[in-house]
Structure formats: C-alpha cells, structure tokens
Homo-oligomer: A and B are copies of this chain.
Amino acid sequence: MSTQQRRERERAQRHDLIVKTARKLAESEGWDAVTTRRLADEIEYSQPVLYSHFAGKDAIVAAVALEGFTELAVRLRAATGTGEPRAALEGLARAYMTFAEENPALYDAMFTMAVDLPFGQDDTPEPLRDGFQALLAGVAQFADGRDPAILTEVAWSALHGLIVLSRGGRLPASGREARLTLLLDQLSATR
C-alpha cells in the first residue's frame, strides 16, 4: 500500500527532475546540448530510464514547453493592467518580450521547436489555452470594435516576429525600442 504510493511519488519526482534538468541544460548550453545521453548523465540514471517516462526526446521538449506556458500565463496576468489602453497594452507587450528574453530556450521550445502540441484544438492542454486567454484578456479591453481574438493574434504574431527575428540577428539590436513603440502606436490606433 504505502510502498506503492512511495514509488509513485518517487516516479513523479524523477519525472520533474528530468524536465527541470532538460530546461536548465537547454537554457545554459542550448538545446543542441540536450542529448539523451547527456540528460541521462545529468540526472544520474541511464538513458532507457528517460523512455520509461517520456515517449521520446520530443515529448521531453514538449513537457518543458508546457511548463513555460504556465509561467507565461502567470506573468501576463500579472502584467494585465486596467488603466489607459495604450499603457495597458505596453505593459502586456513588455511582459511578453521580457519573458522571451529571460528564457530564450524555453521560448524556443514553446514557439519554434515542439510541433506535437495540439494548439487550437479540443484536446489543447489547459496551460496553452490559459496562456492565450491571458493575452486575450489583456488585449480585448481595448479592442474598441475590432475582433478581440483577431487583434490578439495579430499582436502576438508581431511580437513573436520581433523576438524571433531579433534573436537570429535578422534585426539590428539598436532599433529595438523604436520598433516596439511603433508597433504599439499602430496597434492602438483606431480609425
């Protein structure tokens, strides 16, 4: 009885250990450094153990990404102000960009790597849904006639584009602030 429970608890702990280690490793040395051998070594178990917890490496990345969505949602909710529309949007956008900058590997896992997470579907995991809802809640309040969902998607896309192009060196680091300001201006313009 209690033995069974202890085992399940230990299994859950090890599951977490794998996810945390993968994330830490990815963040410090990049996802290329996250190999099954290295990961196994780091958690002090052999490779096959990983496969008793996850279907494969992709599933591990997906688990890390899921953790990211939860954290992002929390951050966005915290940044969702209720003041003047333009300022509220700015707070939200900055929170999003800060998150991406502070956790580049995590952000990659969430938005560029793991493709096997079902996004806009019925079986979409709760954290994903929650993340988008947090963004939506912040944007919706100044939609001002425009479709809130569409507006959110466009705003999100633009932010994502800025982040990903900047990171790859496609955009100069210098104009960063100017780009964000312009984007916010354009998004909050209502004709």
Residues of A within 8 A of B (CB): 111-112, 115, 118-120, 146-147, 149-151, 153-154, 156-162, 164-165, 168-172, 175, 178-179, 182-183, 185-187, 189-191
Q: Which residues of B contact A172 (CB under 8 A)?
A: 120
Interface of A is mostly: helix
**How many chain copies does the complex carry?**
2
B150 with A154: CB separation less than 8 A: no
Q: Which residues of B contact A158 (CB under 8 A)?
A: 154, 157-158, 161, 183
A–B pairs, 23, beta carbons within 8 Å:
A111-B170, A112-B164, A112-B168, A115-B168, A118-B169, A119-B168, A119-B169, A147-B178, A149-B175, A153-B175, A154-B158, A154-B179, A154-B182, A154-B186, A156-B165, A157-B161, A157-B165, A157-B171, A157-B179, A157-B183, A158-B183, A186-B186, A189-B190
A171 with B120: CB separation less than 8 A: yes
Task: Select which of B115, B150, B159, B182 is within 8 A of A151 by beta carbon.
Answer: B182
